[in-house]
Amino acid sequence: MKKVYANATEALDGVLSDGMMIAAGGFGLCGIPELLLEAIKESGAQDLTFASNNAGVDDFGIGILLQTKQVKKMISSYVGENAEFMRQYLAGELELEFNPQGTLAERMRAGGAGIPGFYTKTGVGTVIAEGKEHKDFNGETYIMEEGIFADLAIVKAWKADDTGNLIFRKTARNFNVPAATCGKVCIAEVEEIVPRGSLDPDQIHLPGIYVNRIIQGDHEKRIEQRTTRKKEEA
């Protein structure tokens, strides 16, 4: 089955629809599926729910879909870098569900692994625990969190082969792996599609079984906070 598509718009054709839930990889602006987000913007799809650790910045990442009011709800752990997000949230135009970062990652992992719920200590005694089932194990209290089963997953990887085996680079792996696994359909955008057989099977980060469609393209890979030291400090 052919997995490689010409571009993000073609890869989204037939799988993107209004009101769907999309799990997106990335941490801050690192490892975000920037080409697919741009194509979703162009598609005009409405009322989208995003499970994504962050919401991008005003003009990059999921932020571009906030500008066009295509997002109905965000499930995120931290959204502090996005002024338009804050404006829409405070105006009641956008739903927001805060998840602790590890809980969000595990909800995606669990959904991808066919696990509808799990217990965690994270958030016990906080607003996160309100309305959730509490259960004691070995004298400690845990709350139940639910797996995320997304309609679509969009992720960014470094390299792929045409069967969808993916390799990520450095900390750009982040949420891309759990997000990819929890979508009914997963589209991966990569910097390079390499010939089958050229990736070391022992070094695959995400096996191609999780990836339905692949595109290759040029990535801006914007840096959110450029921090450096001077040579003389070494």
Q: Which one among 133, 171, 196, 209 touches another protein, defined by CB under 8 A?
A: 171
* Distance, first Cα to last Cα, the chain: 52
Q: Does 123 bind another protein (CB under 8 A)?
A: yes
Q: Binding to another protein by residue 207, rule CB under 8 A? A: no
* Whole-angstrom distance, CA of residue 11 vs CA of residue 206: 19
Is residue 124 a contact point for another protein (CB under 8 A)? yes
Secondary structure class of 50 (helix, strand, coil): strand
How far is residue 83's CA from residue 67's CA, in Å, rounded to a whole number?
Answer: 10
Closest CA to 153 of 200, 194, 206: 206
- Where are any strands of DSSP class E within 33-164? 48-51, 71-76, 95-98, 117-120, 134-137, 140-146, 150-160
Residue from the set 114, 127, 201, 203 that interacts with another protein by CB under 8 A: 127
x/- letters, 177..206, toward another protein (CB under 8 A)? xx--------------------------x-
Q: Report the SS3 class of residue 75.
A: strand
User: Which part of the chain contacts another protein (CB under 8 A), choosing from 37-45, 61-69, 115-123, 131-139?
Assistant: 115-123
**Does 227 engage in binding with another protein (CB under 8 A)?**
yes
Rounded CA-CA distance 127/136 in Å is 18
If one asks whether residue 221 binds another protein (CB under 8 A), the answer comes out as yes
The residue ranges that bind another protein (CB under 8 A) are 27-31, 53, 76-81, 86, 98, 100-103, 105-106, 108-109, 120-128, 158, 168-178, 205, 221-231, 234
